[in-house]
Amino acid sequence: MEKANENEERKREKAEEFKIPKGNIVETKEKAKKEKKPTDKEKLEELTDTLKRLQAEFENYKKRADKEKEEFAKYANAAMIAKLLPLLDTFEIALRNTKDHEKFLKGMEMVYAQLFSALEAEGLRPITAEGKKFDPYYHEVMLKQESDKEEGIVLEELQRGYMFKDKVLRYSKVKISGKKVEKNQTDEKNIAK
- How confident is the model at residue 185, as a pLDDT? 54
- How confident is the model at residue 17, as a pLDDT? 57
Sign of CA dihedral 120, 121, 122, 123: positive
Residue 171 identity (one-letter amino acid): Y
What's the distance, CA 184 to chain centroid? 60
Residue 43 identity (one-letter amino acid): K
- How confident is the model at residue 127, as a pLDDT? 92
Residue 119 identity (one-letter amino acid): L
From first to last of its 193 residues, what are the pLDDT tens digits of the chain?
A: 566 667 677 766 666 655 545 555 555 556 655 566 778 888 899 999 999 999 999 999 999 999 999 888 888 777 778 877 888 888 787 777 778 888 888 888 888 888 888 888 888 999 988 889 999 999 999 998 888 888 888 999 999 999 998 899 899 999 998 877 665 555 555 555 5
- How confident is the model at residue 98, as a pLDDT? 77
Strands (E), the chain: 124-127, 139-146, 154-159, 161-164, 167-170, 172-178
Q: Which of 176, 150, 173 is nearest to 161 (CA)?
A: 173
What's the distance, CA 93 to chain centroid? 39
- How confident is the model at residue 39, as a pLDDT? 85
Question: Domains, the chain, ranges and CATH?
Answer: 2-58 (no CATH), 126-193 (2.30.22.10)
Long-range contacts of 119-126 (CB under 8 A, 24+ apart): 121/83, 122/80, 122/83, 123/164, 123/165, 124/162, 124/163, 124/164, 124/169, 125/162, 125/163, 126/160, 126/161, 126/162, 126/163
- How confident is the model at residue 97, as a pLDDT? 74
> How many whole angstroms separate alpha carbon 164 and alpha carbon 115?
15
